[in-house]
């Protein structure tokens, strides 16, 4: 990535209510839902998460379409890479289902920070620069990616987190998702 690359405007690393208050893990679900629905009206909401607890798992949940994808990558990956692959899988589902005006919610602030700010100090610690570039290139103008606090009180995110604990026989070789 060019060292002079601009921040990606479709990525939000904090969620603010319309009155400018930054939401945190302590915020109530009603405040999250109100802010999400006001900030992203008419957007298809997509929740992603990853886990390394029992298995390497990535999950994507699209409530509006009742779609959930659970995958266990063949490779042993760090949590950063799993979270990044979850976002890439969501972007692939957006393409597959022709979902215009979509918003992906992720609790991985480190991944979103590198996606938004290619010159961030974390760049030197980025274990997957090619994957980050691939995700940045795949984000369409009608797609937003937004950070939400992990283990917060958003029911749809809790469902996605629970999906990462589900045993699935869907195994993937992550090389088909990315060249990394």
What residue segments make up the domains of the chain, in order of their start?
11-168
Q: Please tell me the distance from the alpha carbon of residue 106 to that of residue 152, in angstroms, as a whole number.
A: 12
What is residue 141's predicted lDDT score, i.e. its pLDDT?
A: 93
Q: Which of 44-48, 109-113, 143-147 has the lowest mean pLDDT?
A: 109-113
Q: Could you write out the DSSP letters of every residue in the chain?
A: --TTPPPPTTEESS-B-TTSPBP-TTS-HHHHHHHHHHHSTTPEEEEEEEE-SSS-EEEEEEGGGTEEEEEEESS---HHHHHHHHHHHHHHHHHHTT--SEEEEE--HHHHHHHH-TTSGGGGG-S-HHHHHHHHHH--TTEEEEE--TT-S-HHHHHHHHHTTS--S-EE-GGGT---
CATH architecture of 11-168: 2-Layer Sandwich (3.30)
- pTM metric for this prediction: 0.84
Q: What is the mean pLDDT of residues 93-115?
A: 92
Average pLDDT, whole number, for the chain? 80
Confidence band (pLDDT; 50, 70, 90) for 96?
Answer: very high
Which CA distances in Å does 156 have to 36, 143, 159, 169, 179? 12, 19, 5, 23, 30
Confidence band (pLDDT; 50, 70, 90) for 116?
Answer: confident
What is residue 168's predicted lDDT score, i.e. its pLDDT?
A: 55
Residue length, the chain?
180
pLDDT tens for each residue of 3-39: 445 667 889 888 877 777 777 677 777 878 888 888 8
Q: Which of 45-54, 83-92, 161-170 has the lowest mean pLDDT?
A: 161-170
């Amino acid at each position: 990535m060019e060292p002079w690359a601009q921040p990606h405007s479709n990525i939000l690393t904090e969620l603010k209510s319309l009155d400018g208050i930054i939401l945190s893990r302590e915020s109530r679900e009603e405040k999250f839902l109100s802010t999400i629905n006001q900030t992203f009206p008419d957007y298809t909401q997509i929740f992603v998460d990853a886990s390394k607890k029992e298995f390497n798992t990535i999950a994507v949940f699209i409530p509006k379409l009742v779609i959930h994808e659970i995958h266990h990558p063949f490779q042993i990956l760090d949590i950063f890479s799993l979270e990044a692959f979850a976002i890439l899988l969501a972007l692939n589902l957006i393409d597959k289902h022709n979902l215009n005006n979509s918003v992906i919610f992720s609790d991985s602030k480190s991944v979103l920070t590198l996606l938004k700010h290619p010159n961030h100090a974390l760049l030197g610690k980025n274990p997957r620069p090619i994957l980050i570039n691939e995700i940045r290139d795949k984000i369409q103008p009608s797609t937003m990616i937004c950070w939400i606090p992990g283990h917060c009180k958003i029911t749809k995110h809790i469902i996605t987190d629970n999906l990462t604990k589900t045993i699935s026989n869907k195994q993937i070789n992550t090389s088909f998702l990315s060249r990394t």
